């Protein structure tokens, strides 16, 4: 098996973990906890992990999560993909589903989004 | 002559062997043997991973929450450095490879319920689940039905699980769509005053750590769902339910 072509991920992350292995490799975080953000509607041909239901919606940063290459790059094993900050973003359910949300106005949903998908609201 | 009009004895018909092996099993064997033959992984590594998958379960997660209920200092650790807190209940997220499992990562977060906030987790994109500490995900958690509906109609779905929450409680759905894995730390229920850690562990069911149930004194099992039997079930404990 030594001649099998592999990426270096398992070597670099050993004893460290993923996403810890990418710590310190992203540019400084653009957003901080509490910032209002809007989810951009980027092209998502072939692969994305930003759900359709949050595109164009406004939420607030609940947590600066970690640094990692975006899944849109990582899934194709792009070795020199630059890590970026990921954020847990909190949305009001009424912002996501509008009038059709049947629960109370204070219900929320959180999901994790890489920086490229976010713009200041 | 039989009732349906031809002349042979069904009881004596030998079923062809091939019916007993599904296409999935044929392909699983083909894929595994080819991978081993080409050196992508070894048979020992395959066994190592299978053993890892068979030993994980809900208990460490339940113990972590029980400890947090009993010890404010441990609870503070669980919320601020959950990976370190997991080690205290015997779970090292770097296992079994040294860099974590390839699909669960090493980014774990515990969502603390309060009297006014209730969390429930889902992976709308697939079935991401904090397996190293909570074991294998339930079948319903992986269904398109749960994944489609819980994000949009959480209260209706929770009520199907028998959980009705008042309007004053904020329901917060956590969609685990990237590398973080989540688990709920429910509020300690009434009627558990003076209980030991072991007693508290018993009522911290898998469902209560996903957020589709609340722990309750006297309730030590998950919601009863219609279990679909497997063709060739894994006999050992820790098999996916």
B36-74 pLDDT, tens digit per residue, is: 999 999 999 999 999 999 999 999 999 999 999 999 999
Cβ-proximal residues to B237 (8 Å cutoff; 6+ apart), any chain: B54, B57
Cβ-nearest to B151 among A18, A90, A109: A109
Q: What is the mean pLDDT of residues B78-95?
A: 98
Whether B238 shows a pLDDT value over 50: the answer reads: no
Q: Would you write out chain A's pLDDT as a tens digit for each of its 121 residues?
A: 668 888 888 899 999 999 999 999 999 999 999 999 999 999 999 999 999 999 999 999 999 999 999 999 999 999 889 999 999 999 999 999 999 999 999 999 999 999 999 999 9
Q: What is the pTM of this model?
A: 0.91
Q: Write the Ramachandran bin of B209: left for phi over 0, alpha for psi from -120 to 50, otherwise beta.
A: alpha
List chain A residues with CB under 8 Å of B107.
19, 65-66
Q: What is the pLDDT of residue B8?
A: 58
Mean pLDDT, chain A, rounded, equals 95
Judge whether A66 and A22 are in contact, CB under 8 Å.
yes
Residue with tokens 């589903």: A97
Contacts of A21 in chain B (CB under 8 A): 99
Predicted confidence at residue A21, as pLDDT, reads 96
Cα–Cα dist A15/A21, whole Å:
9
Q: pLDDT tens digits, residue range B140-159?
A: 999 999 999 999 999 999 99
Query: Strands A108-114 and A118-120, how do they pair?
Result: unpaired
How many other CB atoms sit within 10 Å of the CB of residue A52?
A: 10
Q: Which of A2, A6, A18 to mutate to test the interface with B (most CBs of B within 10 A)?
A: A18
Q: ipTM score of the complex? A: 0.96
B180: contact with A, CB 8 A cutoff: yes
């Amino acid at each position: 098996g030594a001649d099998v072509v592999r990426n270096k991920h398992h070597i670099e992350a050993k004893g460290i973990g993923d996403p810890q292995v990418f710590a310190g490799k992203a540019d400084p975080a653009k957003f901080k906890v509490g910032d209002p953000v809007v989810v951009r509607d980027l092209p998502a041909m072939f692969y994305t992990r930003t759900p359709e239901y949050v595109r164009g919606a406004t939420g607030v940063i609940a947590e600066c999560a970690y640094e990692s290459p975006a899944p849109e790059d990582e899934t194709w094993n792009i070795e020199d993909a630059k890590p970026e900050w990921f954020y847990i973003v909190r949305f009001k359910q009424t912002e996501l589903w509008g009038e059709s949300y049947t629960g109370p106005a204070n219900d929320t949903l959180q999901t994790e989004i890489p920086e490229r998908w976010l713009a200041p609201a | 002559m039989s009732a349906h009009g031809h002349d042979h004895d069904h009881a004596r018909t030998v079923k062809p062997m091939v019916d007993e092996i599904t296409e999935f099993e044929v392909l699983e064997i083909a894929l595994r043997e080819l991978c081993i033959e080409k050196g992508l992984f070894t048979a020992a590594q395959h066994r190592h991973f299978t053993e890892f998958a068979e030993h994980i379960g809900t208990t460490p997660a339940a113990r972590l929450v029980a400890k947090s209920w009993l010890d404010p200092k441990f609870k503070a650790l669980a919320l601020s450095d959950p990976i370190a807190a997991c080690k205290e209940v015997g779970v090292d997220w770097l296992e079994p490879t040294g860099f974590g499992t390839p699909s669960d990562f090493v980014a774990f977060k515990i969502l603390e319920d309060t009297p006014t906030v209730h969390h429930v987790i889902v992976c709308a994109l697939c079935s991401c689940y904090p397996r190293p500490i909570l074991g294998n995900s339930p079948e319903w958690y992986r269904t398109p039905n749960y994944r489609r509906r819980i994000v949009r109609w959480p209260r209706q779905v929770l009520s199907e699980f028998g959980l009705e929450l008042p309007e004053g409680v904020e329901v917060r759905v956590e969609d685990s769509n990237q590398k973080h894995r989540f688990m709920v730390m429910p509020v300690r229920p009434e009627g558990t005053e003076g209980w030991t850690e072991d007693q508290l562990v018993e009522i911290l069911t898998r469902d209560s750590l996903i957020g589709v149930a609340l722990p309750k004194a006297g309730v030590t099992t998950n919601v009863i769902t219609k279990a679909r039997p497997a063709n060739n079930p894994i006999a050992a404990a820790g098999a996916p339910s």
